[in-house]
Amino acid sequence: MAKYYESDITKMLQDLLIKKPHIAEEQRKGRALWWDKNPDADNLRRTEESRVRQQAYVYQNKV
């Protein structure tokens, strides 16, 4: 079997997950809380309507 390089950080994280397997479930819960959300149609519409068109070079004076 070929041996491949594993960093110390990778080994530490693997050992941590073996000792505390509940961490993975807590990560999934945190992701669901902050990131995994269904888009709200009203919020998306308001975001698109409030978008301001920007010129090609932002710092150029308006002509």
Model pLDDT, residue 16:
96
Mean pLDDT to the nearest integer, 31-60: 87
Q: Which two tokens stand for residue 35?
A: 């990131």
Q: Provide the whole-model pTM.
A: 0.48
Domain residue limits, the chain: 1-63
pLDDT band per the 50, 70, 90 thresholds, residue 59:
confident
33-39 CB contacts, 8 Å cutoff, 24+ apart: none
- What's the mean pLDDT when you consider all of the chain? 89
Model pLDDT, residue 9:
97
Alpha helices (H) in the chain, listed in sequence order: 8-19, 22-34, 41-49
